[in-house]
């Protein structure tokens, strides 16, 4: 395995040079008449030039060739046929609770890379208007070969569930294992190498970018700490390749262009618009130590805010191992109807509220105002358990993509994948009437 070096911090302004070419970054300016080593200067902007300084994101890349050196883009036919991002009307709306069994990995003998393995489960909004989100799964078994991908429509938050991802980006290399996540912001080119069959989840947002949630009364520390986010260091390759493919996701469709060289030829860079990864085991859990529940928002790792204060286009929330000590309290998750949409996945282990049917590599969707909560077994156990301090969720990592938008399920998600559990509703049918005088 190659070495991976990282810079620590979230939202920081970083500088990085490939150690093989020291002083590749220009001094005192971004775009000199001639860059060191004969490099080209290229800016990658993640926000409007005039965005407030606190929201302004951009990086300067110093590369062997500018990224404009490619042949014209053409439609990329036949690849990722179940990727969506514009048409949310193909299925009739369905307000029912939905649960998917683990999504199938590619069949033996069929090579499917990360891009070809993208399948959209649900989403909302419009990529042209830069407002909305999509939830995808990737189901792949081979590495991308002389191919790079970039998303013109928004940011990808990638959650591996099976198999690590060896990701090469223009900024350097990331190695992302299950129970880690990574974010590849809009427009950044990357390529994914695999060590075997791989499956995972992707939250794509069209509005803005992910940020750390405000802590409010929690204070200065807690939840995901900025220093635990890792950005790759510069690492380039100067490689001529006949027919290297650049795949672009643009307005929900895939396009491909060819060029004669690897796009990962950035010798040095600086800026605050960067890819990054995070280890979910480093999340500092905060919870009630007296009675009742804090709302699950206390488990938010990253958020993509909307224009309404306190309301997110998407939150990424986890339910990690922790102590449960509340007194006089039903400790499992409470029954709930929500003005938000809740898509859940399971990386490993058994989710505390539904240990029987919610499996790693599967998912669930509880749409706006659709009731949900513990199954019968969990309710009876939580209602009658001895209330003593106990560890919960050990050996488990569940997560949630929560959104203020009402998401539609794709035809692949509801029909084609054949993983939707038609008997999911049965887990609540045994709940009894306990009312008495």
Which residues contribute to the annotated binding site for Fe cation?
336, 342, 372
Q: Residue ranges for the binding site? A: 336, 342, 351, 372
Task: Point out the catalytic residue in the list 235, 293, 366, 436.
Answer: 293
- 92 in catalytic set: no
Q: Residue ranges for the binding site for homogentisate? A: 351, 372
421-to-42, 164, 400 alpha-carbon distances in Å: 49, 28, 19
| 3-class SS letters over the chain | CCCCCEEECCCCCEEEECCCCCCCCCCCCCCCCCCHHHCEEEEEECCCCCCCHHHCCEEEEEECCCCCCCCCCEECCCCCCCCCCCCCCCCCCCCCCEEECCCCCCCCCCCCCCCCCEEEEEEEEECCCCEEEEEEEEEECCCCCCEEEEECCCEEEEEEEECCEEEEECCEEEEECCCEEEEECCCCCEEEEECCCEEEEEEEECCCCCECCCCHHHCCCCECCHHHEEEECCCCCCCEEEEEEEEEEECCEEEEEEEEECCCCEEEEEECCCCEEEEHHHCECCCCCCCCCCCHHHHEEEEEECCCCCCEEEEEEEECCEEECCCCCCCCCCCECCCCEEEEEEEECCCCCCCCCCCCCCEEEECCCCCECCCHHHHHHHHHCCCCCEEECCCCEEEEEEECCCCEECHHHHHHCCCECCCHHHHHCCCCCCCCC
Catalytic residues: 293
């Amino acid at each position: 395995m190659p070495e991976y070096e990282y810079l620590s911090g979230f939202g920081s302004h970083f500088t990085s040079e490939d150690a093989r070419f020291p002083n590749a970054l220009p001094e005192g300016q971004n775009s000199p008449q001639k860059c060191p080593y004969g490099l080209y200067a290229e800016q990658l902007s993640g926000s409007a030039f005039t965005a407030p300084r606190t929201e302004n994101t951009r990086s300067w890349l110093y590369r062997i060739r500018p990224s404009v050196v490619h042949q014209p883009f053409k439609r990329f036919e036949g690849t990722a046929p179940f990727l969506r991002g514009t048409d949310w009307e193909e299925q009739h709306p369905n307000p029912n609770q939905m649960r998917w069994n683990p999504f199938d990995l590619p069949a033996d003998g069929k090579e499917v890379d990360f891009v070809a393995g993208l399948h959209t489960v649900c989403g909302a909004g419009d990529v042209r208007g830069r407002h909305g989100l999509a939830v995808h799964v990737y189901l792949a078994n081979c590495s991308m070969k002389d191919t790079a991908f970039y998303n013109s429509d928004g940011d990808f938050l990638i959650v591996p569930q099976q198999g690590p991802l060896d990701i090469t980006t223009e900024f350097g290399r990331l190695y992302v294992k299950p129970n880690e996540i990574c974010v590849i912001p809009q427009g950044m080119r990357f390529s994914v190498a695999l060590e075997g069959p791989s499956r995972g989840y992707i939250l794509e947002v069209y509005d803005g970018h992910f940020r750390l949630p405000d802590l409010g009364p929690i204070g200065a520390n807690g939840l995901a700490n900025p220093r635990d986010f890792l950005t790759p260091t510069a690492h380039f390759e100067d490689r001529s390749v006949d027919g290297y493919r650049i795949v672009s996701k643009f307005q929900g469709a895939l396009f491909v262009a060819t060029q004669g060289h690897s796009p990962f030829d950035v010798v040095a860079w600086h800026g605050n618009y960067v890819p990054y990864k995070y280890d979910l085991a480093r999340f500092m859990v905060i919870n009630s130590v007296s009675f009742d529940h804090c709302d699950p928002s206390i488990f938010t790792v990253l958020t993509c805010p909307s224009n309404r204060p306190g309301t997110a286009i998407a939150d990424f929330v986890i339910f990690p191992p922790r102590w449960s000590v509340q007194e006089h309290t039903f400790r499992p998750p409470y029954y709930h109807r929500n003005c938000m949409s809740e898509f859940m996945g399971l990386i490993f282990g058994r989710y505390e509220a539904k240990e029987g049917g919610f499996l790693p590599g599967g998912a669930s969707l509880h749409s706006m105002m659709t009731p949900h909560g513990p199954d019968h077994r969990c309710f009876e156990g939580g209602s009658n358990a001895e209330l003593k301090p106990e560890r919960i969720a050990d050996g488990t990592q569940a997560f949630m993509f929560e959104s203020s938008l009402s998401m539609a399920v794709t035809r692949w998600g509801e029909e084609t994948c054949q993983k939707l559990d038609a008997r999911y509703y049965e887990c609540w049918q045994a709940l009894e009437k306990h009312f008495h005088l």
